[in-house]
Amino acid sequence: MTSSIEFVEKLRKSGLRPTKQRIEICKVLFNSEKTFHFTINDLVKMIEDKNNKKISLATVYNTIHAFEKKGYLKEIAINSSQTYFDTNTSDHHHFFDEKEKELIDLENKDVDPIKIKKNISGKKIRSVEVLVRIDTDNQ
């Protein structure tokens, strides 16, 4: 459980003014025991349900992108109509449940190290991500 004061400090250190909207977003994102995955719409709903008060969608987008840039969030690559974000910024992979449209962490330890035996000249590897699509086990 992180206090508001700590979020204020974290924001200031990041060069972001500690507004009440940003502190609210921090509370929702970084106060839970476990990390989680979310879409912008999920997050707006969480914040508005918690505070019984509207927050501008633009503010949420702006803040999430600011946090992503600072490395406090990761964006997950899925071909879905909505972008997913992750409060788990460690190096890890994902299952994507096609039925539930839900991401599940696949820790690095649960996948053998991935050795890429090809390299593209003049290019540097930025990330290596595994996406395992899963679906109901029927038929």
- Which chain residues interact with Zn ion by CB under 5 A? 86, 88, 105
Own/partner long-range contacts of 93-99 (Cβ < 8 Å, ≥24 apart): 93/129, 93/130, 93/131, 93/132, 94/129, 94/130, 94/131, 94/132, 95/132, 95/133, 95/134, 96/131, 96/132, 96/133, 96/134, 97/134, 97/135, 98/133, 98/134, 98/135, 99/135, 99/136
**Residue 106 near which of Zn ion, DNA, its own copies, none (CB within 5-8 Å, type-dependent):** its own copies
What residues from 69 to 98 belong to the interface with its own copies (CB under 8 A)? 75-79, 83, 95, 97-98
Contact status: 34 vs its own copies (CB under 8 A):
no
Residues touching DNA, count (CB under 7 A): 24
- Distance in Å, CB of 107 to its own copies, minimum: 8
Q: How many CB atoms lie within 10 A of CB 99?
A: 8
Contact status: 104 vs its own copies (CB under 8 A):
yes
What residues from 55 to 114 belong to the interface with DNA (CB under 7 A)? 55-59, 61-63, 65, 81-83
What residues from 32 to 51 belong to the interface with DNA (CB under 7 A)? 39-41
